[in-house]
Amino acid sequence: MDILSLVIFTIYTICILIIVLYISPILSAFLMFIVPAGLVYFMPTETIQFLSTKQFSFDSILIQNIHILLLIWSAIMGVIAYTEILSWYLFNKQGQGAKQEKEKKAALPKSELMQKLKETRKESFFVNLLKMEKPKK
């Protein structure tokens, strides 16, 4: 593989992954497609020549830089989709639990809420008392 292509793809991948981790997965997906499209628009001959450079071949199948770019795109899109789905799932799970707790507390009158608070304090006091060691004689 050409060293220049390796360096360019490595820098491109690291920049996209840093944007995924520290800024936004959506922004990184947007930039992942805009940067090569912008390069094709502003420097068409150089970019097309770079993307059509042959890196290696298996029998009669040529692997060019465009194929490596598509491989990088598919891998990073998988990471982006996974992070978005995971963050959505975790947010909804925490959001539902907190929402249900607030609804329960709002449904209780203040006197019942205070009674529950007193019961939990008593319970925790007795649990802690039982856990303490007995004094030796």
Query: Is 119 contained in some domain?
Result: yes
- Total structural domains within the chain: 1
What pLDDT, in 10s, does the model give residues 102-129? 666 666 566 665 666 666 555 555 555 5
Range of the domain at 86: 3-130
Residue holding tokens 């529950």? 116
Q: Which residues pair with 54 in a beta bridge?
A: 64
Q: Give the pLDDT band of residue 132 (cuts 50, 70, 90).
A: low
The fraction of the chain above a pLDDT of 90, given in percent, is: 36
Say whether pLDDT at 17 is over 80. Answer: yes
Pull the structure tokens for residue 65. Answer: 């830089």
Q: pLDDT: is 74 or 135 the higher one? A: 74
Specify the pLDDT at position 99.
62
